[in-house]
Structure 1
Amino acid sequence: MKEKTIRIGTRRSELAVVQTNLVAEALLNTGMGIKTELVLKQTEGDRLLDKPLLEFGGKGVFVTAFEQALLRGEIDLAVHSAKDMPMELEEGLKIAAVLKREDPRDVLVTLAGSDLSGNGEVVIGTSSLRRRMQIQKAGADLWPGQTVRCENLRGNVQTRLGKLAEGNYDGIILAAAGLKRLGLWEDSRYQYQCFDCETFIPAGGQGILAVEGRIDSGLDAVLRLVDDEEARQCLTLERKVLRLLNAGCHEPIGIYSRIKDGKMEVLGMSHRGEETKKIHLWGEVTELDHLAELAARGLS
């Protein structure tokens, strides 16, 4: 095969670049003579850090610039954290590959040596409604007799950790996947408390890198070589549930799936109106649509 340079679009944050390099490395390792070039872009979501996402367009603010660049032919692929992708992609585009899932859990991050008991009030930084709902519920067990107050927190991982270090929050909630990819998992400045996926349900697609491309890109053969079937099946189910619920970032919804012993396990939570609903389902991997419909029905 003639050597080809594939242009991959990415946000400018350190995590986005690290994640895109994981895709570039996977393409290089296919042995198909692939070269890659990273094309860095700043999105509206990166510029407007003082407002919650739901005030100016939701998840799509991280993706739109790359979809337009794909359609204009300025880039060949774009790498996204799957949980940031909107439910509907621009016409002519598709999720062309899905890498193996990293740790999907949410993590409570506090400064090393800190003890939040006895504070009276625990201030947690997060902009996610899903995380807010679940940490306020978990707080009764974590810090008995204390109230939990959530404050808006956006920005890249380092920005958020910096605000924690400055004392703006008692703790913040981050994705384990990002911390691990950035090499921060062993950082002695912080202490991490991981929540299991059964009690603190992740966002749909959390821990998964999705590679978006044009339907007619001609790259399908090489992208199949880096596509992880299990991660793709889980992402397909999770996005189907979110689509059936018509969910964006405007309401707290968690959905997570995994394959165990050949079966698909699905965990979900939603809070609509005054009611919080949770589901825990099992089904066949070959019946993703049916499982998604059952999950959506249980969460709606």
Structure 2
Amino acid sequence: MMRSLVIGSRRSGLARVQAEWVKNTLEGSSTGRSFTIAFLETSGDRWSERGEKTLPGRGIFTKELESALLRREIDIAVHSLKDLATELPEGLTLAAVSPREDARDVWVSRSFPHWEAVPAGSTVAAGSPRRVRQLQELRPDFSFCEIRGNVDTRLRKVEANPDWAGTVLAAAGLKRLGLFNRELHFSFFSFEVLLPAPGQGALGIEARAEDKEAVGLLRLLHDEGAGWEVAAERAFLRSLGGGCRSAVGAKATVERHELVLEGIVWVEALGRNYRRRIVGPAREAESLGRALAEKLLSETGSAHGGDKEIE
């Protein structure tokens, strides 16, 4: 009898839901294989739970899973793709990108149904430099404070803290966990107002590159359109030299094999965000992401841009 293939996941409630989706989808695809889930704690989970101020470095939510893959303790690793470094460890491959859940960000508040209704001088809890920098330009009258913890923990903190006007969370996590039933105000940010993290809303599913069986099975989960979108977004982030804690936002959209990519980056030396857009064939997703980054770097005096048509 063949052994079960082991799916590695973080321990958070959201990560468990995501890992169960992978397991159930694979088992429902008549693969003839069985799967089990192993839950691992990551340095990012420990940092978030302890409220430590010093970041443990890049890949804080993924490196323990990747190490377990390389040690052959697990066969598949499931990540929120926005947490996954743009450069994977040698020997690992991004075998599948899931169909994408809603990639928008959501305003969440006890008292204010929309971010535009918040009084001047109010405090917004936001743990992401990307969100803070974009919101600063929309509402320079806001003050910001740090918020950490998983999705449910952040909601409970907002519910319990009357000094906070609200916070911003990813729609995908709220939807996967069924948390829109809380007695809070929820309103969606359009992409025109707030660009999400590269890869937001998609799952990135890793395997060992040499494990042809696992890689082949995971292709059953792969969504081609989402794959092109996140390839463009991650190439944009990689070319800017950013990580998951960088003030970089990006959203690609694929329609009829054409890809539209919008990207934004905060330039500290200039004290402002730069946002641009590029259009091209979806099959050239990575080169479009690189071209958009090169254009922004050129405009901000950091590098020379290419000759793609940027709008």
TM-score by length of 1: 0.91
Runs of 4+ in 1 over 3 A off after TM superposition: 112-120
The counterpart of 1:263, out of the listed 258, 262, 274, is 258
**Residue 6 (1) aligns with residue 5 (2):** yes
- Is residue 263–residue 283 contact of structure 1 (8 Å, CA) maintained in 2? yes
Aligned to 2:206: 212
> Does 1:122 pair with 2:119?
no
Gaps of 5+ in 1: 141-146
* TM-aligned CA deviation for residue 174 of structure 1: 0.3
**Residues in 2 aligned to 1:118 and 1:225: alpha-carbon distance in whole angstroms:** 45
In the other structure, the counterpart of 2:273 is 276
Aligned residue type for 1:83: K
For the residues of structure 2 that align with 1:224 and 1:213, how far apart are their CA atoms? 11
SS at match of 1:154: coil
Structure 2 residue 73 is the aligned partner of structure 1 residue 74: yes
- Whether the 8 Å CA contact 1:30–1:222 is kept in 2: the answer is no
Q: 2:156 aligns with which of 162, 175, 184?
A: 162
- Mapped to 1, the partners of 2:78 and 2:291 lie a distance apart of 30
Helix, strand or coil at the partner of 2:274: strand
**Cα gap change, 1:221/1:124 in structure 2, threshold over 3 Å: closer, same or farther?**
same
1:118 Cα deviation from its structure 2 partner: 6.9
Q: Find the partner of 2:170 among 162, 171, 175.
A: 175
RMSD across aligned C-alpha pairs, in angstroms? 1.9
Larger deviation: 6-15 or 24-33? 24-33
Q: Give deviations 1:45-100, integer Å, cap 9, x for gaps.
A: 111121357x3203x01111111100111100110000001122111001111110
Give structure 2 stretches of 5+ with no counterpart. Answer: 298-311
Structure 1 residue corresponding to 2:229, chosen from 226, 234, 239: 234
CA deviations 1:190-249 (Å, max 9, x no partner) are 111111112210110000001111011222222111111111111111111111111114
In 1: Cα distance, 2:158 partner to 2:17 partner: 23
Q: Secondary structure at the match of 1:219?
A: helix
1:253 is aligned to 248
Distance of 2:119 and 2:214 partners within structure 1: 55
- Is the CA contact (8 Å cut-off) linking 2:101 and 2:202 kept in structure 1? yes
What is the match of residue 293 of structure 1? 290
Equivalent in 188, 195, 199 of residue 193 of structure 2:
199
Q: Percent identity?
A: 36
Tell me the CA shift for residue 277 of structure 1. Answer: 0.7
Distance 2:159 2:231 in 1: 38
Tell me by how many angstroms 1:133 deviates: 0.9
Give the count of matched residue pairs: 290
One-letter code aligned to 1:252: A
Contact kept in structure 1, 2:43 and 2:56, CA below 8 Å: no
Contact kept in structure 2, 1:30 and 1:226, CA below 8 Å: no
* CA distance in 2 between partners of 1:296 and 1:114 (Å): 35
Structure 1: how far apart are the matches of 2:145 and 2:241? Answer: 26
Q: 1:120 deviation in Å?
A: 3.7
Aligned residues of 1:3 and 1:33 also touching (Cα < 8 A): no
User: What SS class does the counterpart of residue 237 from structure 2 fall into?
Assistant: helix
User: Residues 170, 214 of structure 1: CA spacing in aligned structure 2 closer, same or farther, 3 A cutoff?
Assistant: same
Q: Tell whether the 8 Å contact from 2:252 to 2:259 is kept in structure 1 after alignment.
A: yes
Map Cα deviations across residues 226-283 of structure 1 (whole Å, 9 max, x no partner).
Answer: 1111111111111111111111145311111011243101011111122421012211
Q: How far apart, CA to CA, are the structure 1 residues paired with 2:224 and 2:114? A: 42
